[in-house]
Structure 1
Amino acid sequence: MEYLTKQPENLNAVQRFGRWLRLKQYQIEVTFGVYMFTSAERFIFWSVVFLLCSLLTIAVVLYLPQHLLFIISRAWFYVNGGDSSVASNVVAGNKDALSLATSSIAKTMAAAATETAEYMNREL
């Protein structure tokens, strides 16, 4: 059994991560009895697990920074009794960066639409 053999500890990070993932897969298969499923059932099970992990990862990437800023600003308020200039500057800076990014995207899209319209007029 591959999981019980002792491997050299001088593996690089990618190999150690792959070994850790194989170990977790083995533990899940033994814990939930996945090894007894048919191949179709196993495919459905691992598809659902992959889907749930993907959704969790996307949610963490999208919403965790905003949530942490909110918690930090609340903690600052509870500790210091007022609005923090540091926390409000960080939040305001993030809002400004977001508005700049969306405005630059809108300008880029408008320029592309104008260029496409000019090209279409030349072709007609």
Structure 2
Amino acid sequence: MLSTPISLPTVFVGAAIIFLFALALYPSSLLRWFQRKRYQYEVTFSLYMLTPTEKFIFNSILFLFLAMVSIAVALYLPRHVRIIAHRAYYYVSGDLVKNGTTSAVLGTTAEILTPTTVAEAIGSA
């Protein structure tokens, strides 16, 4: 028999190792789904016939491109959507005061703009 008792953390570590080993032998459906998606990615972009260095270069360029696009979307899309919403509001209501972009450009915040004051503001600019 064992002379020293086995501690509880040792049992948990042993169980975790056995669990990970079982996962490696019998992949779950989620792991198989990821493997299938990786295979589809490599077949779609013909990466299966490249060397590992070429795959790394291609994946790095793709990652950098997608990272730049996502950063640009995160930085500039909200402002662009806000401008489009203000323009849509102007086309629907015709009110320049509530349109933040137009009122900021014309320098008016509280008064109601009539067609003559708008023409004067555009003419003086």
- TM normalised by structure 1 equals 0.51
Compute the displacement of 1:83 (Å).
2.1
| CA positional deviation for 1:60 | 0.6
Q: Which one of the candidate residues 70, 83, 94 is aligned to 1:70?
A: 83
Equivalent position of 1:88 in the other structure: 100
Sort the Cα spacing of 1:66 and 1:50 in 2 relative to 1 into closer, same or farther, 3 A. same
Q: Is 2:66 aligned against 1:53?
A: yes
- Size of the alignment, in residue pairs? 77
Distance change (3 Å), C-alpha of 1:76 and 1:34 = same
Change over 3 Å in CA distance of 1:43–1:32 after alignment to 2: same
Residues 74/48 of structure 1: CA separation in 2 closer, same or farther (3 Å cut): same
Instruction: Write the deviation string for residues 84-124 of structure 1: whole angstroms up to 9, x where unpaired.
Output: 52x529x97xxxxxxxxxxxxxxxxxxxxxxxxxxxxxxxx
d(CA) in 1 for partners of 2:35, 2:95: 50
Q: Return 5+ residue gaps in structure 1 as ranges.
A: 8-15, 93-124
**What residue in structure 1 maps to residue 51 of structure 2?**
38
User: Structure 2: where are the runs of 5+ without partners?
Assistant: 1-26, 105-125
Taking structure 1 as reference, are residues 20 and 68 closer, same or farther at Cα in structure 2, changes over 3 Å only?
farther
Structure having the higher Rg: 2
CA shift digits 1:47-103 (9 cap, x unpaired): 011001100111011101100100000100111112252x529x97xxxxxxxxxxx
| CA distance in structure 2 between the aligned counterparts of 1:63 and 1:49, rounded to whole angstroms | 21
Identity, % of aligned positions: 44
Which secondary structure does the structure 1 equivalent of 2:95 belong to? coil
CA root-mean-square deviation: 3.2
Task: Give TM-score scaled by structure 2 length.
Answer: 0.50
